[in-house]
Amino acid sequence: MSYTYEYPRPALTVDCVVFGFDGEERALKVLLIQRKGEPYKNCWALPGGFVGMEEDLETAAIRELKEETGLSNIFLEQLYSFGQPNRDPRGRVVSVAYFALVKHGKHKKLHATTDALDARWFPIKQTPELAFDHANILKVALERLRGKLRYQPIGFELLPEKFPLSELRHLYETILEKTLEKRNFRKKILKMKVLKALDEHQQGVAHRAARLYSFDKEKYEQLRQRGFNFEL
């Protein structure tokens, strides 16, 4: 079977930059797969692939992520489209990149599925050489993550459902690469009223157990519609 057009067409792919935050190592990580086929065989790359003919772009991103890494049901948002004529040795390939956030703990075990040799988390500071222009895509994604983190409550997407405030702070400190004053951070975030204080505490820690909180998405939506702006 083949398909014929009057004019040439670029191929269209999606690529996903999946970020996770490892609370234990206090490190921001990115999910990469090892390529099974040519080009860049065995090379590490962002998960992604060709867009189906009847498939929405976001749907394609979700599907590829599932196929190549086993991940599903995660925060996903379009990042940018990359279309340099020579970014792929096979010919003209335009890629719509997505940017995803996952609760790292939940997905520690990754499936290296049929489409990829391997799938692994890499600390953002120690990524291998990447295929295509993926290093650049990753760079853009990282800038976007840092930019959004301060103005939108997306940090919660990287944490488990229930978390102590200190973990949220560590996440901000790690990603923004600066330390935040403990008391002021607490005041600021609690004053926004987007966290639900739970009647639960940490367990099995060698010190006073911290209270757990959860992000109150409904409350946030209500506030946002009244013109409230999350900003940290």
d(C-alpha 212, C-alpha 164), whole Å: 4
Residue 150 in the binding site for DNA (CB under 7 A)? no
Instruction: Answer for the pair 95, 78: CB distance below 8 angstroms, yes or no.
Output: no
Which residue, 145, 149, 144, 161, is CA-closest to 217?
A: 161
CA distance 83 to 184: 44
Q: Of residues 37, 39, 83, 123, which one binds a copy of itself by CB under 8 A?
A: 83
> 130 CB contacts (<8 Å, ≥6 apart)?
32, 43, 44, 45, 46, 138
In the block, which residue shows the tokens 């394609």?
Answer: 60
Q: Which is nearer to a copy of itself, 8 or 204 (CB)?
A: 8
Do the Cβ atoms of 174 and 26 come closer than 8 Å? yes
Question: Does the protein bind a copy of itself through residue 5 (CB under 8 A)?
Answer: yes
| Interface with a copy of itself (CB under 8 A), residue from 24, 53, 108, 126 | 53
Member of 90, 178, 207, 226 binding DNA (CB under 7 A)? 207
Is 164 near DNA (CB under 7 A)? yes
Closest to DNA by CB, 109 vs 208, is 208
Count interface residues toward a copy of itself (CB under 8 A): 28
12 binds, among DNA, a copy of itself, none (CB under 5 to 8 A by kind): a copy of itself
User: Is residue 81 involved in binding a copy of itself (CB under 8 A)?
Assistant: yes
DSSP state of 83: -
Distance CA(142)–CA(147), nearest Å, equals 8
Residue 15 phi/psi, 5-degree rounding, is -130, 145
Q: Is 153 helix (H, G, I), strand (E, B) or coil?
A: coil
Among 205, 217, 221, 222, binds DNA (CB under 7 A): 205
Residue 181 touches which of DNA, a copy of itself, none (CB < 5 to 8 A by kind)? DNA
Cα Dmax for the chain = 70
The minimum distance between CB 222 and DNA, in angstroms, equals 19
Report the residue number, 24 or 54, with the smaller CB distance to a copy of itself: 54
Q: Terminal CA-to-CA distance of the chain, rounded, Å? A: 54
- Closest distance of CB 221 from DNA, Å: 21
Q: Which is nearer to a copy of itself, 55 or 173 (CB)?
A: 55
What does the binding site for a copy of itself look like in residue numbers (CB under 8 A)? 1-12, 50-51, 53-57, 78, 80-81, 83-85, 92, 94, 96
What does the binding site for DNA look like in residue numbers (CB under 7 A)? 164-166, 181-184, 186-188, 201, 204-211
